[in-house]
Amino acid sequence: MTSSCDIMVVGGGHAGLLTAIALHDCGLQVQVVDPMPAAAIRDAPADGRALALLAGSIAHLEKLGLWDELAPYGAPIRKVEVLDVGSAAKVGYREEDAPARGPFGQGFENRVLRRILLDQFLERAGKGGLVTDRVQAISRDGDRISVRTETGESLAARLLIGADGRGSKVRSLARIGLRRWTYGHTALGFIVRHTTDNGGAVLERMRRGGPLATLPLRSDRTGITWVETDERARQLAAGPSEALLAELAEALDDALGRMELDSPVGTWPLSGQHADRYVAPRLALVGDAAHGVHPIHAQGFNMGVADVASLVGLVRRHKGDPGSPDVLRAYERDRRGPNTRSIWLTDGLARLFSNELVPVAQARGAALTLLDRLTPLRRLAIRRGMGG
């Protein structure tokens, strides 16, 4: 037997759950399919990852009417300080410099954000809103698209949203191609507790191996994303935590005081990717299923939030059929350009800040110095960096 709804979201990660909540709030019947049961998502062990939601994303979430529910779990970013270690060039921003004079964004622990989004969705849609299964096949019939799952269930909807991450099964079932590239670098992600108040600061150190960035999660708790060559990242993750924390303290000039690990140390080999199309008949991709970037510019999920805001806005405006070709064409038009620009900007920064050739390092130092001194350029960088 086939069960039916308006929208089927494949993938209960951040992008999928956010889409599901926002579309449910439009009065549509939404189901999310994810292999993890609700209890496992809620009790997921720490994986060391934290993410910055930039001010542009917060504005989208406010428009969707969802920010008030997420705000208590975020930590405001009040300062950003970027130091290019090789050239000693530095640029700093304070929230007073920002166009709206508010925080640059908010820091969240990944698993906490996912848990809150799950609870928000289940509160609206009930327990039946989440189907614990894995999608294996899709088929279309008139104005319906159906999926078959690993356990043999059949689910139909008017629009299927692929939010199933970088290795998206939905994307490959829809025969949407993918461009993918690697960096030869790995990100270490972990959380530290510390004795000195972080003051809401993001400290970004551009080092020989790649960028190292802090993200406030509370005044005495900070997320660390630390990029190194694959080999060095493996060594650091496998080595004693004392050595890791000592190197971190040195990189941050002891800015956080005494530190201890408050999560395991996770590793993520870094790559970039971009789907050739975001849509197919009765199907749209959002979040990492559509694009994946290097973490240097904190864009990954922020691009996903903008995807969700766009798709939900279009579905709302077109009222009738959420999976109509008009909605899907408009979504592709709306998101491909901005995402392409973010992907290339992020890729450029990632390559610029991991290149140790002397002329490149010198140009990098000069660019940061210029950014620090020229007010219009600083404003532009702030707006761009906030996702505005």
Ligand X SMILES: Cc1cc2nc3c(=O)[nH]c(=O)nc-3n(C[C@H](O)[C@H](O)[C@H](O)COP(=O)(O)OP(=O)(O)OC[C@H]3O[C@@H](n4cnc5c(N)ncnc54)[C@H](O)[C@@H]3O)c2cc1C
Binding site for ligand X (CB under 6 A): 10-16, 33-36, 49, 51-52, 134-135, 163-165, 169, 187, 189, 225, 268, 287-288, 295, 298-302, 304
Q: Which residues pair with residue 203 across a beta bridge? A: 81
Q: Give 20 or 371: the residue with its C-beta nearer to ligand X.
A: 20
Smallest gap, in angstroms, from Cβ of residue 363 to ligand X? 26
Q: Toward ligand X, which CB reaches closer, 35 or 92?
A: 35
**Shortest gap between Cβ of 297 and ligand X (angstroms)?**
9
Say how far apart CA 300 and CA 291 lie, in whole Å.
8
Q: With respect to ligand X, which residue has the nearer C-beta, 15 or 203? A: 15
Q: How far is the CB of 60 from ligand X (least distance, A)?
A: 12
d(CA 318, CA 129): 24
Residue type present at position 54: L
Return the number of the residue (84 or 133) whose C-beta is nearest ligand X: 133
Least CB distance from residue 376 to ligand X, whole Å?
A: 26
N-to-C CA span, the chain: 46
Phi-psi region of 186 (alpha: psi -120 to 50; beta: other; left: phi over 0): beta
Q: Which is nearer to ligand X, 302 or 361 (CB)?
A: 302
Residue number with CB closer to ligand X (277 or 318):
277
d(CA 186, CA 219) in angstroms, rounded, equals 27
Three-class secondary structure of residue 288 per DSSP? helix
Residue 231 contacts by C-beta under 8 Å, 6 or more apart in sequence?
A: none
Nearer to ligand X, 189 or 322 (CB): 189
And the tokens for 183?
A: 């960096």
Residue 266's CB: how many other CB atoms inside 10 A? 17
What is the three-class DSSP state of 30? strand
- 257 sits in the region (left: phi over 0; alpha: psi -120 to 50; else beta) called left
Q: Which amino acid is at 81?
A: E
Instruction: Provide, rounded to whole angstroms, the least separation between the CB of residue 375 and ligand X.
Output: 27
Q: How far is the CB of 10 from ligand X (least distance, A)?
A: 5
In the complex, least distance from residue 52 CB atom to ligand X, rounded to whole angstroms: 4
- The nearest distance, CB 373 to ligand X, in angstroms, is 27
- Rounded least distance, CB 370 to ligand X, Å: 25
Contact status, residue 227 vs residue 237, Cβ threshold 8 Å: no
Let me know if 372 is exposed, middle or buried by CB neighbors in 10 A (0-12, 13-18, 19+): middle
Report which of 69, 38, 47, 67 is spatially closest to residue 55, judged by C-alpha positions: 67
* Nearest approach, Cβ of residue 151 and ligand X (Å): 11
> What are the backbone dihedrals phi and psi of residue 57, each rounded to the nearest 5 degrees, phi first?
-70, -40
The tokens for 269 are: 């080999």
Distance CA 240, CA 225 (A): 18
Point out the residue whose Cβ comes nearest to ligand X.
13
Q: Which is nearer to ligand X, 36 or 367 (CB)?
A: 36
Can you spell out the DSSP letters for 80-100? EEEEETTTTEEEEEEGGGSTT
**Of 67 and 268, CB closest to ligand X:** 268
For residue 299, give Cα distances in angstroms to 76, 230, 302, 347: 17, 22, 5, 11
Residue closer to ligand X by CB (options 13, 322) is 13
